[in-house]
Structure 1
Protein backbone atom coordinates (compact mmCIF):
# COMPACT_ATOMS: atom_id res chain seq x y z
CA UNK A 1 0.00 0.00 0.00
CA UNK A 2 2.76 2.41 0.88
CA UNK A 3 4.61 1.51 -2.31
CA UNK A 4 1.51 2.31 -4.38
CA UNK A 5 0.93 5.64 -2.67
CA UNK A 6 4.58 6.56 -3.08
CA UNK A 7 4.65 5.77 -6.80
CA UNK A 8 1.29 7.48 -7.34
CA UNK A 9 2.59 10.66 -5.71
CA UNK A 10 5.52 10.71 -8.15
CA UNK A 11 3.31 10.64 -11.25
CA UNK A 12 3.84 13.97 -13.05
CA UNK A 13 0.91 16.11 -14.23
CA UNK A 14 2.55 18.34 -16.80
CA UNK A 15 -0.81 19.67 -18.03
CA UNK A 16 -1.24 21.56 -14.78
CA UNK A 17 2.33 22.07 -13.60
CA UNK A 18 3.91 23.30 -16.84
CA UNK A 19 3.15 26.75 -18.19
CA UNK A 20 1.77 27.33 -21.68
CA UNK A 21 4.50 28.02 -24.25
CA UNK A 22 2.05 30.35 -26.03
CA UNK A 23 0.25 32.21 -23.24
CA UNK A 24 -3.34 32.76 -24.40
CA UNK A 25 -6.80 32.02 -23.06
CA UNK A 26 -8.94 29.30 -24.70
CA UNK A 27 -12.71 29.41 -25.11
CA UNK A 28 -13.36 25.69 -24.58
CA UNK A 29 -11.28 22.63 -23.66
CA UNK A 30 -12.68 19.21 -22.86
CA UNK A 31 -13.93 15.96 -24.39
CA UNK A 32 -16.30 15.17 -27.24
CA UNK A 33 -18.26 12.07 -28.23
CA UNK A 34 -18.43 10.38 -24.84
CA UNK A 35 -20.80 7.39 -24.81
CA UNK A 36 -23.55 8.17 -22.31
CA UNK A 37 -26.54 6.13 -21.14
CA UNK A 38 -28.84 8.36 -19.10
CA UNK A 39 -32.39 8.99 -17.99
CA UNK A 40 -34.35 11.99 -19.22
CA UNK A 41 -37.08 13.37 -16.98
CA UNK A 42 -40.00 14.07 -19.33
CA UNK A 43 -42.92 16.09 -17.97
CA UNK A 44 -45.62 13.65 -19.16
CA UNK A 45 -43.83 10.30 -19.24
CA UNK A 46 -41.50 10.59 -16.26
CA UNK A 47 -37.96 9.11 -16.42
CA UNK A 48 -37.06 7.72 -19.87
CA UNK A 49 -34.00 5.58 -20.55
CA UNK A 50 -31.89 7.06 -23.37
CA UNK A 51 -28.52 6.47 -24.99
CA UNK A 52 -26.46 9.26 -26.47
CA UNK A 53 -23.09 10.95 -26.67
CA UNK A 54 -21.83 13.88 -24.66
CA UNK A 55 -19.44 16.80 -25.02
CA UNK A 56 -18.19 18.36 -21.78
CA UNK A 57 -15.83 21.31 -21.49
CA UNK A 58 -14.63 24.35 -19.55
CA UNK A 59 -12.68 27.40 -20.65
CA UNK A 60 -9.11 28.31 -19.75
CA UNK A 61 -9.36 31.89 -18.58
CA UNK A 62 -5.74 32.20 -17.41
CA UNK A 63 -3.39 32.52 -20.41
CA UNK A 64 -0.44 30.93 -18.63
CA UNK A 65 -2.29 27.69 -17.76
CA UNK A 66 -1.31 24.78 -20.03
CA UNK A 67 -4.28 22.42 -19.65
CA UNK A 68 -7.28 21.17 -17.68
CA UNK A 69 -8.10 18.07 -15.60
CA UNK A 70 -10.09 16.06 -18.15
CA UNK A 71 -10.49 13.09 -15.80
CA UNK A 72 -12.35 15.36 -13.36
CA UNK A 73 -14.90 16.21 -16.02
CA UNK A 74 -15.30 12.57 -17.04
CA UNK A 75 -15.95 11.40 -13.48
CA UNK A 76 -18.33 14.27 -12.82
CA UNK A 77 -20.36 13.31 -15.89
CA UNK A 78 -20.50 9.71 -14.72
CA UNK A 79 -21.80 10.82 -11.34
CA UNK A 80 -24.42 13.07 -12.96
CA UNK A 81 -26.16 10.28 -14.86
CA UNK A 82 -25.97 7.90 -11.89
CA UNK A 83 -27.59 10.32 -9.44
CA UNK A 84 -30.93 11.29 -11.03
CA UNK A 85 -32.78 11.72 -14.34
CA UNK A 86 -31.70 14.79 -16.29
CA UNK A 87 -33.87 17.89 -16.04
CA UNK A 88 -33.15 21.59 -16.63
CA UNK A 89 -32.79 22.35 -12.92
CA UNK A 90 -30.47 19.40 -12.23
CA UNK A 91 -28.31 20.35 -15.23
CA UNK A 92 -27.97 23.91 -13.94
CA UNK A 93 -26.84 22.61 -10.55
CA UNK A 94 -24.38 20.29 -12.29
CA UNK A 95 -22.85 23.17 -14.29
CA UNK A 96 -21.87 24.89 -11.04
CA UNK A 97 -20.17 21.67 -9.84
CA UNK A 98 -18.45 21.34 -13.19
CA UNK A 99 -17.11 24.87 -13.00
CA UNK A 100 -16.02 24.42 -9.38
CA UNK A 101 -13.88 21.46 -10.45
CA UNK A 102 -11.75 23.97 -12.41
CA UNK A 103 -12.54 27.10 -10.43
CA UNK A 104 -8.89 28.10 -10.23
CA UNK A 105 -8.56 28.44 -14.02
CA UNK A 106 -12.06 28.61 -15.55
CA UNK A 107 -14.98 31.04 -15.77
CA UNK A 108 -17.40 29.03 -17.96
CA UNK A 109 -18.68 25.45 -18.27
CA UNK A 110 -20.62 23.69 -21.00
CA UNK A 111 -22.31 20.36 -21.61
CA UNK A 112 -24.01 18.96 -24.73
CA UNK A 113 -25.83 15.62 -24.99
CA UNK A 114 -27.06 14.25 -28.34
CA UNK A 115 -29.56 11.41 -28.56
CA UNK A 116 -32.64 10.02 -30.32
CA UNK A 117 -35.91 10.76 -28.53
CA UNK A 118 -38.45 7.97 -29.08
CA UNK A 119 -42.16 8.72 -28.90
CA UNK A 120 -45.04 6.31 -29.52
CA UNK A 121 -47.48 7.88 -31.96
CA UNK A 122 -51.03 6.83 -32.81
CA UNK A 123 -52.15 6.05 -36.38
CA UNK A 124 -54.57 8.45 -38.07
CA UNK A 125 -57.55 6.09 -38.35
CA UNK A 126 -56.74 2.57 -37.22
CA UNK A 127 -56.07 1.65 -33.61
CA UNK A 128 -52.38 0.94 -34.23
CA UNK A 129 -49.43 2.77 -32.76
CA UNK A 130 -45.73 2.90 -33.57
CA UNK A 131 -42.45 4.43 -32.40
CA UNK A 132 -41.05 7.53 -34.05
CA UNK A 133 -37.49 8.77 -33.55
CA UNK A 134 -36.77 12.47 -33.15
CA UNK A 135 -33.11 13.64 -33.30
CA UNK A 136 -32.53 15.65 -30.14
CA UNK A 137 -29.83 17.40 -28.14
CA UNK A 138 -29.53 19.20 -24.83
CA UNK A 139 -27.15 22.15 -24.51
CA UNK A 140 -26.34 23.53 -21.05
CA UNK A 141 -23.93 26.39 -20.39
CA UNK A 142 -22.81 28.43 -17.41
CA UNK A 143 -21.24 31.79 -18.15
CA UNK A 144 -21.05 34.95 -16.07
CA UNK A 145 -22.73 33.10 -13.22
CA UNK A 146 -25.89 32.53 -15.30
CA UNK A 147 -26.87 29.04 -16.47
CA UNK A 148 -28.89 28.38 -19.62
CA UNK A 149 -30.49 25.19 -20.93
CA UNK A 150 -31.53 24.59 -24.53
CA UNK A 151 -33.40 21.74 -26.18
CA UNK A 152 -32.65 20.98 -29.80
CA UNK A 153 -35.26 18.92 -31.61
CA UNK A 154 -35.87 17.84 -35.23
CA UNK A 155 -39.46 16.99 -36.20
CA UNK A 156 -40.25 15.33 -39.57
CA UNK A 157 -43.45 16.09 -41.48
CA UNK A 158 -44.91 15.94 -44.97
CA UNK A 159 -45.47 19.02 -47.12
CA UNK A 160 -47.40 19.32 -50.38
CA UNK A 161 -46.62 22.17 -52.76
CA UNK A 162 -49.57 24.58 -53.36
CA UNK A 163 -48.20 25.50 -56.78
CA UNK A 164 -48.06 21.92 -58.07
CA UNK A 165 -51.54 21.27 -56.63
CA UNK A 166 -52.89 24.22 -58.63
CA UNK A 167 -51.21 22.99 -61.82
CA UNK A 168 -52.64 19.49 -61.25
CA UNK A 169 -56.15 20.89 -60.89
CA UNK A 170 -55.66 22.80 -64.14
CA UNK A 171 -54.75 19.59 -66.01
CA UNK A 172 -57.81 17.82 -64.59
CA UNK A 173 -60.03 20.69 -65.72
CA UNK A 174 -58.55 20.61 -69.23
CA UNK A 175 -59.12 16.84 -69.47
CA UNK A 176 -62.73 17.27 -68.35
CA UNK A 177 -63.28 19.94 -71.05
CA UNK A 178 -61.73 17.71 -73.73
CA UNK A 179 -63.68 14.56 -72.85
CA UNK A 180 -67.03 16.30 -72.53
CA UNK A 181 -66.72 18.96 -75.23
CA UNK A 182 -70.13 20.19 -76.23
CA UNK A 183 -71.86 18.73 -73.16
CA UNK A 184 -73.55 21.22 -70.86
CA UNK A 185 -74.83 18.76 -68.27
CA UNK A 186 -73.39 15.64 -66.65
CA UNK A 187 -75.06 13.22 -64.28
CA UNK A 188 -73.43 12.40 -60.98
CA UNK A 189 -72.91 8.82 -62.16
CA UNK A 190 -71.15 10.02 -65.34
CA UNK A 191 -68.90 12.31 -63.34
CA UNK A 192 -68.12 9.55 -60.83
CA UNK A 193 -67.24 7.06 -63.57
CA UNK A 194 -65.10 9.63 -65.34
CA UNK A 195 -63.12 10.44 -62.22
CA UNK A 196 -62.56 6.76 -61.44
CA UNK A 197 -61.35 6.09 -65.00
CA UNK A 198 -58.84 8.90 -65.12
CA UNK A 199 -56.27 7.60 -62.69
CA UNK A 200 -54.02 10.50 -61.72
CA UNK A 201 -53.56 12.96 -64.54
CA UNK A 202 -51.05 14.81 -62.38
CA UNK A 203 -49.91 14.43 -58.79
CA UNK A 204 -49.02 17.43 -56.63
CA UNK A 205 -45.50 16.87 -55.38
CA UNK A 206 -45.02 16.16 -51.68
CA UNK A 207 -41.80 15.72 -49.79
CA UNK A 208 -40.52 14.67 -46.42
CA UNK A 209 -39.74 17.87 -44.55
CA UNK A 210 -38.03 18.80 -41.29
CA UNK A 211 -38.66 21.39 -38.63
CA UNK A 212 -35.39 21.91 -36.75
CA UNK A 213 -35.86 23.73 -33.46
CA UNK A 214 -33.61 25.24 -30.86
CA UNK A 215 -35.50 26.21 -27.72
CA UNK A 216 -34.21 28.07 -24.67
CA UNK A 217 -36.03 26.69 -21.63
CA UNK A 218 -36.63 28.06 -18.16
CA UNK A 219 -33.53 27.16 -16.12
CA UNK A 220 -35.62 26.12 -13.12
CA UNK A 221 -37.94 23.79 -15.06
CA UNK A 222 -38.29 20.48 -13.18
CA UNK A 223 -38.59 18.38 -16.40
CA UNK A 224 -38.30 18.50 -20.19
CA UNK A 225 -41.67 18.96 -21.93
CA UNK A 226 -40.62 17.13 -25.11
CA UNK A 227 -43.99 15.46 -25.75
CA UNK A 228 -45.84 18.77 -25.43
CA UNK A 229 -43.43 20.47 -27.84
CA UNK A 230 -43.84 17.68 -30.41
CA UNK A 231 -47.62 17.85 -30.10
CA UNK A 232 -47.58 21.62 -30.48
CA UNK A 233 -45.44 21.61 -33.63
CA UNK A 234 -47.09 18.61 -35.29
CA UNK A 235 -50.54 20.07 -34.66
CA UNK A 236 -49.45 23.38 -36.18
CA UNK A 237 -48.09 21.65 -39.28
CA UNK A 238 -50.99 19.23 -39.68
CA UNK A 239 -49.22 16.45 -41.60
CA UNK A 240 -46.69 14.64 -39.37
CA UNK A 241 -45.06 11.54 -40.88
CA UNK A 242 -46.62 8.28 -39.73
CA UNK A 243 -45.48 5.03 -38.09
CA UNK A 244 -47.97 2.13 -38.24
CA UNK A 245 -50.08 2.52 -41.41
CA UNK A 246 -53.06 0.48 -42.68
CA UNK A 247 -55.01 1.38 -45.84
CA UNK A 248 -57.42 3.62 -43.96
CA UNK A 249 -54.47 5.48 -42.40
CA UNK A 250 -52.79 5.97 -45.77
CA UNK A 251 -56.00 7.33 -47.26
CA UNK A 252 -56.42 9.70 -44.33
CA UNK A 253 -52.82 10.84 -44.80
CA UNK A 254 -53.44 11.50 -48.50
CA UNK A 255 -56.54 13.50 -47.60
CA UNK A 256 -54.58 15.55 -45.06
CA UNK A 257 -51.83 16.33 -47.57
CA UNK A 258 -54.35 17.32 -50.23
CA UNK A 259 -56.13 19.73 -47.90
CA UNK A 260 -53.02 21.02 -46.11
CA UNK A 261 -50.93 22.65 -48.83
CA UNK A 262 -47.95 24.66 -47.67
CA UNK A 263 -44.76 26.34 -48.79
CA UNK A 264 -41.78 26.37 -46.42
CA UNK A 265 -42.72 29.97 -45.55
CA UNK A 266 -46.15 28.79 -44.38
CA UNK A 267 -44.63 26.06 -42.23
CA UNK A 268 -42.18 28.45 -40.54
CA UNK A 269 -44.95 30.93 -39.74
CA UNK A 270 -47.20 28.23 -38.29
CA UNK A 271 -44.48 26.96 -35.98
CA UNK A 272 -43.47 30.47 -34.92
CA UNK A 273 -47.06 31.31 -34.00
CA UNK A 274 -47.43 28.06 -32.04
CA UNK A 275 -44.17 28.44 -30.09
CA UNK A 276 -44.79 32.11 -29.30
CA UNK A 277 -47.79 31.01 -27.25
CA UNK A 278 -45.70 28.66 -25.07
CA UNK A 279 -44.85 30.36 -21.78
CA UNK A 280 -42.24 27.71 -20.84
CA UNK A 281 -40.08 28.62 -23.87
CA UNK A 282 -38.00 31.77 -23.34
CA UNK A 283 -36.59 31.94 -26.88
CA UNK A 284 -36.57 29.87 -30.07
CA UNK A 285 -34.88 29.42 -33.43
CA UNK A 286 -36.69 27.56 -36.24
CA UNK A 287 -35.39 26.19 -39.52
CA UNK A 288 -37.77 24.34 -41.84
CA UNK A 289 -36.46 22.28 -44.74
CA UNK A 290 -38.67 21.02 -47.56
CA UNK A 291 -36.49 18.35 -49.16
CA UNK A 292 -37.90 18.78 -52.63
CA UNK A 293 -39.07 15.95 -54.89
CA UNK A 294 -39.21 18.38 -57.85
CA UNK A 295 -35.82 20.04 -57.39
CA UNK A 296 -32.38 18.70 -56.55
CA UNK A 297 -32.15 21.27 -53.74
CA UNK A 298 -34.09 22.06 -50.58
CA UNK A 299 -36.44 24.94 -49.86
CA UNK A 300 -35.70 26.49 -46.44
CA UNK A 301 -37.06 29.17 -44.14
CA UNK A 302 -35.78 30.46 -40.77
CA UNK A 303 -37.60 32.30 -38.00
CA UNK A 304 -36.71 33.40 -34.49
CA UNK A 305 -38.68 34.71 -31.53
CA UNK A 306 -37.03 38.12 -31.88
CA UNK A 307 -35.94 38.28 -28.24
CA UNK A 308 -33.43 41.03 -27.49
CA UNK A 309 -30.02 39.37 -27.17
CA UNK A 310 -31.53 36.00 -28.14
CA UNK A 311 -31.11 33.76 -31.15
CA UNK A 312 -29.91 35.44 -34.28
CA UNK A 313 -31.71 34.84 -37.62
CA UNK A 314 -28.96 32.64 -39.07
CA UNK A 315 -29.50 29.73 -41.47
CA UNK A 316 -27.85 27.35 -39.01
CA UNK A 317 -26.65 27.34 -35.40
Structure 2
Protein backbone atom coordinates (compact mmCIF):
# COMPACT_ATOMS: atom_id res chain seq x y z
CA UNK A 1 0.00 0.00 0.00
CA UNK A 2 0.96 3.67 -0.21
CA UNK A 3 1.56 5.88 2.82
CA UNK A 4 2.76 9.44 3.38
CA UNK A 5 5.92 9.44 5.50
CA UNK A 6 8.93 11.59 6.25
CA UNK A 7 12.53 10.47 6.78
CA UNK A 8 13.89 13.95 7.58
CA UNK A 9 12.47 17.25 8.76
CA UNK A 10 12.07 20.22 6.44
CA UNK A 11 9.82 21.68 3.79
CA UNK A 12 7.34 19.86 1.58
CA UNK A 13 10.22 18.23 -0.28
CA UNK A 14 10.63 15.74 2.59
CA UNK A 15 7.12 14.33 2.11
CA UNK A 16 7.30 10.90 0.53
CA UNK A 17 4.64 8.50 -0.70
CA UNK A 18 6.24 5.22 0.28
CA UNK A 19 5.36 1.59 -0.31
CA UNK A 20 4.47 -0.10 2.95
CA UNK A 21 2.94 -3.35 4.13
CA UNK A 22 -0.71 -3.23 5.13
CA UNK A 23 -0.62 -2.92 8.93
CA UNK A 24 -1.76 -5.88 10.99
CA UNK A 25 -4.78 -5.47 13.21
CA UNK A 26 -4.37 -6.26 16.90
CA UNK A 27 -6.75 -6.78 19.82
CA UNK A 28 -9.35 -3.99 20.18
CA UNK A 29 -8.21 -2.55 16.86
CA UNK A 30 -9.80 -2.08 13.45
CA UNK A 31 -8.23 -2.14 9.98
CA UNK A 32 -9.71 0.60 7.78
CA UNK A 33 -9.47 1.07 4.02
CA UNK A 34 -9.01 4.83 3.95
CA UNK A 35 -11.37 6.81 1.74
CA UNK A 36 -10.30 10.25 2.96
CA UNK A 37 -7.67 11.70 5.30
CA UNK A 38 -7.58 15.32 6.36
CA UNK A 39 -4.49 17.55 6.30
CA UNK A 40 -4.21 19.43 9.62
CA UNK A 41 -1.75 21.95 11.08
CA UNK A 42 -0.25 19.20 13.25
CA UNK A 43 0.91 17.48 10.05
CA UNK A 44 2.85 20.59 9.04
CA UNK A 45 4.40 20.84 12.49
CA UNK A 46 5.41 17.17 12.38
CA UNK A 47 6.99 17.54 8.94
CA UNK A 48 8.92 20.68 9.90
CA UNK A 49 10.32 19.13 13.08
CA UNK A 50 8.55 21.55 15.42
CA UNK A 51 7.09 18.74 17.52
CA UNK A 52 10.48 17.12 17.90
CA UNK A 53 12.05 20.46 18.86
CA UNK A 54 9.33 20.80 21.52
CA UNK A 55 10.14 17.36 22.96
CA UNK A 56 6.81 15.85 21.91
CA UNK A 57 8.05 13.47 19.21
CA UNK A 58 11.32 11.52 19.25
CA UNK A 59 13.37 11.70 16.06
CA UNK A 60 12.78 8.49 14.13
CA UNK A 61 14.01 6.99 10.86
CA UNK A 62 10.44 7.00 9.51
CA UNK A 63 7.47 9.00 10.78
CA UNK A 64 3.94 8.55 9.45
CA UNK A 65 1.77 11.57 8.68
CA UNK A 66 -1.95 12.06 9.28
CA UNK A 67 -4.39 11.98 12.21
CA UNK A 68 -7.93 12.00 10.73
CA UNK A 69 -9.40 9.24 8.59
CA UNK A 70 -12.71 8.17 7.12
CA UNK A 71 -13.19 4.86 5.38
CA UNK A 72 -14.56 1.33 5.43
CA UNK A 73 -13.75 -1.40 7.93
CA UNK A 74 -11.84 -4.30 6.36
CA UNK A 75 -10.99 -6.36 9.44
CA UNK A 76 -11.35 -6.30 13.20
CA UNK A 77 -9.14 -7.67 15.96
CA UNK A 78 -10.07 -9.70 18.99
CA UNK A 79 -12.47 -8.12 21.51
CA UNK A 80 -13.98 -5.73 18.93
CA UNK A 81 -17.78 -5.90 19.11
CA UNK A 82 -19.06 -2.58 17.81
CA UNK A 83 -17.68 -2.71 14.27
CA UNK A 84 -17.60 -5.24 11.46
CA UNK A 85 -16.25 -5.39 7.89
CA UNK A 86 -18.12 -3.07 5.54
CA UNK A 87 -18.99 -0.47 8.18
CA UNK A 88 -18.38 3.18 7.23
CA UNK A 89 -16.39 4.85 10.00
CA UNK A 90 -14.37 7.89 11.00
CA UNK A 91 -11.69 8.09 13.60
CA UNK A 92 -8.49 9.67 14.76
CA UNK A 93 -5.04 8.64 15.87
CA UNK A 94 -3.89 10.80 18.78
CA UNK A 95 -0.36 9.34 18.86
CA UNK A 96 2.57 11.24 17.39
CA UNK A 97 5.21 8.54 17.44
CA UNK A 98 3.90 6.22 14.68
CA UNK A 99 5.58 4.78 11.56
CA UNK A 100 2.30 5.02 9.60
CA UNK A 101 -0.33 7.73 9.86
CA UNK A 102 -3.83 8.01 8.41
CA UNK A 103 -2.65 9.47 5.09
CA UNK A 104 -2.35 6.02 3.57
CA UNK A 105 -4.37 3.39 1.72
CA UNK A 106 -5.00 1.55 5.01
CA UNK A 107 -4.68 2.40 8.67
CA UNK A 108 -5.20 0.55 11.95
CA UNK A 109 -6.97 2.52 14.70
CA UNK A 110 -8.20 1.60 18.16
CA UNK A 111 -11.86 0.63 18.11
CA UNK A 112 -12.69 3.07 20.91
CA UNK A 113 -11.45 5.94 18.70
CA UNK A 114 -14.03 5.23 15.97
CA UNK A 115 -17.60 6.26 15.19
CA UNK A 116 -20.00 5.05 12.54
CA UNK A 117 -20.80 7.29 9.58
CA UNK A 118 -24.42 7.12 8.36
CA UNK A 119 -25.18 6.98 4.61
CA UNK A 120 -26.42 10.57 4.70
CA UNK A 121 -22.86 11.87 5.29
CA UNK A 122 -20.14 11.53 2.67
CA UNK A 123 -16.83 10.05 3.78
CA UNK A 124 -14.81 12.95 2.32
CA UNK A 125 -16.85 15.43 4.33
CA UNK A 126 -16.81 13.23 7.44
CA UNK A 127 -13.00 13.13 7.43
CA UNK A 128 -12.97 16.82 8.38
CA UNK A 129 -14.72 16.13 11.69
CA UNK A 130 -12.56 14.11 14.14
CA UNK A 131 -9.55 16.28 15.03
CA UNK A 132 -11.17 19.69 14.59
CA UNK A 133 -14.55 18.73 16.02
CA UNK A 134 -13.17 16.91 19.04
CA UNK A 135 -10.73 19.75 19.75
CA UNK A 136 -13.59 22.26 19.88
CA UNK A 137 -15.93 19.99 21.84
CA UNK A 138 -13.36 18.94 24.43
CA UNK A 139 -12.18 22.51 24.95
CA UNK A 140 -15.78 23.57 25.55
CA UNK A 141 -16.25 20.70 27.99
CA UNK A 142 -13.16 21.81 29.91
CA UNK A 143 -14.39 25.42 30.12
CA UNK A 144 -17.69 24.15 31.62
CA UNK A 145 -19.69 27.31 30.93
CA UNK A 146 -23.35 27.55 31.89
CA UNK A 147 -25.92 28.61 29.26
CA UNK A 148 -26.09 32.37 28.91
CA UNK A 149 -22.38 32.90 29.53
CA UNK A 150 -20.19 34.63 26.96
CA UNK A 151 -17.48 32.83 25.00
CA UNK A 152 -14.84 34.48 22.80
CA UNK A 153 -13.68 32.35 19.86
CA UNK A 154 -10.62 33.51 17.93
CA UNK A 155 -10.04 32.21 14.41
CA UNK A 156 -13.78 31.69 14.23
CA UNK A 157 -13.87 31.11 10.47
CA UNK A 158 -11.30 28.31 10.62
CA UNK A 159 -11.96 24.60 11.02
CA UNK A 160 -11.67 24.39 14.83
CA UNK A 161 -13.03 27.88 15.43
CA UNK A 162 -16.08 27.24 13.27
CA UNK A 163 -16.97 24.10 15.20
CA UNK A 164 -16.42 25.95 18.48
CA UNK A 165 -18.86 28.69 17.42
CA UNK A 166 -21.54 26.19 16.37
CA UNK A 167 -21.17 23.96 19.41
CA UNK A 168 -21.14 26.91 21.82
CA UNK A 169 -24.25 28.43 20.26
CA UNK A 170 -25.99 25.05 20.49
CA UNK A 171 -25.22 25.02 24.23
CA UNK A 172 -26.91 28.37 24.71
CA UNK A 173 -23.73 30.40 25.03
CA UNK A 174 -23.40 33.93 23.73
CA UNK A 175 -20.58 33.74 21.19
CA UNK A 176 -18.20 36.62 20.49
CA UNK A 177 -16.19 35.78 17.37
CA UNK A 178 -13.13 37.32 15.80
CA UNK A 179 -12.02 36.62 12.23
CA UNK A 180 -11.26 38.46 9.01
CA UNK A 181 -13.81 41.16 8.21
CA UNK A 182 -14.78 39.32 5.03
CA UNK A 183 -15.84 36.32 7.14
CA UNK A 184 -18.42 38.15 9.24
CA UNK A 185 -21.39 36.77 7.31
CA UNK A 186 -20.08 33.21 7.58
CA UNK A 187 -19.27 33.47 11.28
CA UNK A 188 -22.65 34.96 12.14
CA UNK A 189 -24.31 32.16 10.16
CA UNK A 190 -22.41 29.67 12.31
CA UNK A 191 -23.97 31.22 15.39
CA UNK A 192 -21.87 34.16 16.55
CA UNK A 193 -23.92 36.94 18.15
CA UNK A 194 -21.06 39.47 18.37
CA UNK A 195 -18.34 39.93 15.74
CA UNK A 196 -14.98 41.71 16.06
CA UNK A 197 -12.86 42.00 12.89
CA UNK A 198 -9.28 40.79 13.02
CA UNK A 199 -6.85 43.69 13.42
CA UNK A 200 -8.86 45.54 16.05
CA UNK A 201 -7.42 45.91 19.55
CA UNK A 202 -9.24 42.82 20.73
CA UNK A 203 -9.45 43.50 24.44
CA UNK A 204 -10.85 46.99 23.98
CA UNK A 205 -13.19 45.98 21.15
CA UNK A 206 -14.69 43.05 23.05
CA UNK A 207 -15.09 45.00 26.29
CA UNK A 208 -16.97 47.76 24.48
CA UNK A 209 -19.48 45.16 23.31
CA UNK A 210 -19.37 42.90 26.39
CA UNK A 211 -18.86 45.01 29.52
CA UNK A 212 -16.21 43.49 31.74
CA UNK A 213 -15.08 41.06 29.05
CA UNK A 214 -16.05 37.57 27.95
CA UNK A 215 -16.43 34.83 30.54
CA UNK A 216 -14.04 32.56 28.66
CA UNK A 217 -12.14 32.13 25.40
CA UNK A 218 -11.17 29.39 22.98
CA UNK A 219 -8.04 30.71 21.29
CA UNK A 220 -8.07 28.85 17.96
CA UNK A 221 -5.95 31.58 16.32
CA UNK A 222 -3.19 31.39 18.96
CA UNK A 223 -3.43 35.11 19.81
CA UNK A 224 -2.33 34.48 23.39
CA UNK A 225 -2.17 37.54 25.63
CA UNK A 226 -4.17 39.64 23.16
CA UNK A 227 -7.13 37.28 23.48
CA UNK A 228 -6.71 36.93 27.25
CA UNK A 229 -7.13 40.71 27.56
CA UNK A 230 -10.68 40.26 26.26
CA UNK A 231 -11.55 37.78 29.06
CA UNK A 232 -12.95 39.01 32.36
CA UNK A 233 -10.99 38.78 35.59
CA UNK A 234 -11.40 35.28 37.00
CA UNK A 235 -12.47 33.92 33.63
CA UNK A 236 -11.16 30.90 31.75
CA UNK A 237 -8.95 30.55 28.68
CA UNK A 238 -8.35 27.47 26.50
CA UNK A 239 -5.20 27.60 24.37
CA UNK A 240 -5.13 25.09 21.52
CA UNK A 241 -1.49 25.39 20.43
CA UNK A 242 1.33 24.18 22.64
CA UNK A 243 3.40 27.10 23.91
CA UNK A 244 0.77 29.69 22.94
CA UNK A 245 -0.90 29.90 26.33
CA UNK A 246 -0.49 33.29 28.06
CA UNK A 247 0.26 33.80 31.73
CA UNK A 248 -2.88 33.55 33.91
CA UNK A 249 -3.23 37.26 34.65
CA UNK A 250 -6.07 38.69 36.74
CA UNK A 251 -6.93 35.36 38.36
CA UNK A 252 -7.86 33.71 35.08
CA UNK A 253 -7.75 29.94 34.63
CA UNK A 254 -5.48 29.35 31.63
CA UNK A 255 -4.88 25.86 30.26
CA UNK A 256 -3.62 24.22 27.12
CA UNK A 257 -6.10 21.74 25.71
CA UNK A 258 -4.49 18.57 24.37
CA UNK A 259 -6.74 16.58 22.04
CA UNK A 260 -7.51 12.92 22.74
CA UNK A 261 -9.28 10.29 20.65
CA UNK A 262 -12.80 9.56 21.89
CA UNK A 263 -15.13 7.45 19.76
CA UNK A 264 -18.15 8.00 21.99
CA UNK A 265 -17.80 11.77 21.84
CA UNK A 266 -17.16 11.56 18.10
CA UNK A 267 -20.42 9.65 17.64
CA UNK A 268 -22.22 12.48 19.44
CA UNK A 269 -20.68 14.95 16.98
CA UNK A 270 -21.80 12.81 14.04
CA UNK A 271 -25.35 13.01 15.39
CA UNK A 272 -25.04 16.80 15.53
CA UNK A 273 -23.94 16.81 11.89
CA UNK A 274 -27.00 14.72 10.97
CA UNK A 275 -29.28 17.14 12.80
CA UNK A 276 -27.74 20.17 11.09
CA UNK A 277 -26.37 21.58 14.34
CA UNK A 278 -22.78 21.59 13.10
CA UNK A 279 -21.43 21.93 9.57
CA UNK A 280 -18.76 19.95 7.75
CA UNK A 281 -16.58 22.16 5.55
CA UNK A 282 -14.13 20.81 2.97
CA UNK A 283 -12.06 23.26 0.95
CA UNK A 284 -11.05 20.63 -1.60
CA UNK A 285 -10.58 16.88 -1.99
CA UNK A 286 -7.20 16.04 -3.54
CA UNK A 287 -5.41 12.83 -4.60
CA UNK A 288 -2.86 11.46 -2.17
CA UNK A 289 0.02 12.33 -4.49
CA UNK A 290 -0.79 16.04 -4.09
CA UNK A 291 0.06 15.98 -0.39
CA UNK A 292 2.91 18.50 -0.82
CA UNK A 293 0.54 20.95 -2.50
CA UNK A 294 -1.95 20.48 0.34
CA UNK A 295 0.75 21.32 2.91
CA UNK A 296 1.71 24.45 0.96
CA UNK A 297 -1.88 25.65 0.70
CA UNK A 298 -2.59 25.06 4.37
CA UNK A 299 0.59 26.92 5.31
CA UNK A 300 -0.50 29.95 3.26
CA UNK A 301 -3.69 30.21 5.31
CA UNK A 302 -7.05 31.58 4.28
CA UNK A 303 -8.77 28.21 3.81
CA UNK A 304 -12.39 27.95 4.83
CA UNK A 305 -12.62 24.23 5.40
CA UNK A 306 -10.11 21.41 5.45
CA UNK A 307 -8.11 19.95 2.59
CA UNK A 308 -8.79 16.23 2.34
CA UNK A 309 -6.55 13.64 0.68
CA UNK A 310 -8.32 10.83 -1.16
CA UNK A 311 -6.16 7.69 -1.54
TM range (shorter): under 0.3
- Structure possessing the higher relative contact order (Cα contacts under 8 Å, 6 or more residues apart): 2
Find the structure with the greater CA-based Rg.
1
TM-score w.r.t. the length of structure 2 is: 0.21
1 or 2, which has the higher strand percentage?
1
